A = this chain, B = another copy of it.
Amino acid sequence: MTITITAFERSPDGGKGLARDTRVRWALEEVGQPYEVRLVSFQAMKEPAHLALHPFGQIPTYEEGDLALFETGAIVFHIAERHAGLLPRDANGRARAVAWMFAAVNSVEPAILELVTAKILEGDKPWTKDRLPLIEDRVRNRLGQLSRRLGDADWLDGDFSAGDLMMVSVLLRLRSSGLLDEYPNLAAYVARGEARPAYKRAFAAQLAINAAAPPAG
């Protein structure tokens, strides 16, 4: 059955790979599954046809036969469950990999989202300059904890897993802030993720779309 995902017709990041379809593309590349992409405009994302697929009017979505899924973490997990390569075979290792998937989106990403929100949605507010250091310290708190747990290991728990895929993807959002570089083992961890051939293919695929998109305006 054909797998079809949705992605931005033109990503707000201009092709830096931070839109969430990159996470799903990466998972599909890791397990060697071909997929098709349906591009969606900002306007179409808020219309009934897309809202039927994704209640929050976002991308990516995932369609395969009579299954329609939304929410990146769930899509990556679905792919990881159906195909070898992203989850350990033993039940306990698998449960721990799922723990890192949830940790990425619920324990690490919220502080990073707050930083992104402050810069983008509240960038013009008078308080943002004074607020940013507070948010950065909350991000550092999480990064410090994650750095201590990772130590000098390559990946969070044994071999590369869907947990690492999600955590690296979340941390990539911090690159432009410089915060990641304060934790050399985390910076190296993210670089290891980016060096994976599957990530490189996923990144190139989203870049090709955004490089071809007409200029904004």
Contact = CB atoms under 8 A, between A and B. Distances in A.
Contacts of A75: 99
23 contacts: A55-B145, A55-B146, A56-B103, A56-B142, A56-B145, A57-B145, A67-B92, A69-B95, A69-B96, A70-B99, A71-B107, A72-B102, A74-B95, A78-B98, A102-B102, A102-B105, A114-B117, A121-B134, A122-B131, A122-B134, A125-B131, A127-B127, A127-B130
A98 B74 contact: yes
A106 B76 CA distance: 14
Contact of A101 (B74, B109, B145): B74
Contacts of A146: 55-56
* A interface, size bucket: 35 or more
Nearest to A99: B74
A102 B117 contact: no
B131 A71 contact: no
